[in-house]
Amino acid sequence: MWQAIQTIEPHCTAEQVTAWVKGADPRVARSTVYRILADLCSSGDVVVARLDAGGLRYELAAAEHPHAVCQVCGKVIHVGDELLQTLEEQLAATVGFRTVRIDLTVNGVCRDCAAPSRRTTGRPQHNHI
């Protein structure tokens, strides 16, 4: 399971993990994959995030990092640690809040989708011939 999450892509779905695992061993049940994913999340080895309407996404646990998700194409961008540090410092200075964990997803439109050729509809352009 660990190798599947590491190999597929960052932010993989349970369905992608299931397909990868079944490719390696077709005898593995879908319910087993979901149970192991839940166990990995409970242990802190894997983190889960709801990044888009496509459901939960899984990735190996690493340093906390916020995500920026394009609402047009679904691209997921990791946001730098310096922004988290600034947020933590501001929370501490203004309201005396000590951060334990940050789980942040910023929704918007990526640079490619915001390009002038796509700006008029807010959706990917399709060429019709």
pLDDT at position 52 is 64
Sign of CA dihedral 78, 46, 55, 24: positive
Domain ranges of the chain: 1-61, 63-129
Q: One digit per residue, pLDDT tens: the chain, 129 residues?
A: 778 887 887 788 899 999 999 999 999 999 999 999 999 888 878 877 776 666 788 888 775 667 788 888 888 887 777 888 888 899 999 999 988 777 777 889 999 998 876 554 444 433 332
The DSSP string of 30-80 is HHHHHHHHHHHHHHTSEEEEEEETTEEEEEE--S---EEEETTT--EEEPP
Residue 21: per-residue pLDDT: 93
Query: CA 17 to CA 49: how far, in whole Å?
Result: 15
Written out in words, the top-level CATH class of the domain with range 1-61 is: mainly alpha
Cβ count near 125 (within 10 Å): 11
Under 8 Å between Cβ of 67 and 104: yes
Q: What pLDDT is attached to residue 94?
A: 95
Q: Which CATH architecture has domain 63-129?
A: 2-Layer Sandwich (3.30)
Whole-angstrom distance, CA of residue 49 vs CA of residue 55? 9
pLDDT at 42: 83
How many residues does this entry show for the chain?
A: 129
Q: What is the C-alpha separation between 67 and 58, in angstroms, rounded?
A: 13
Pick out the residues of the known binding site: 70, 73, 110, 113
Residue ranges at the known binding site for Zn(2+) = 70, 73, 110, 113
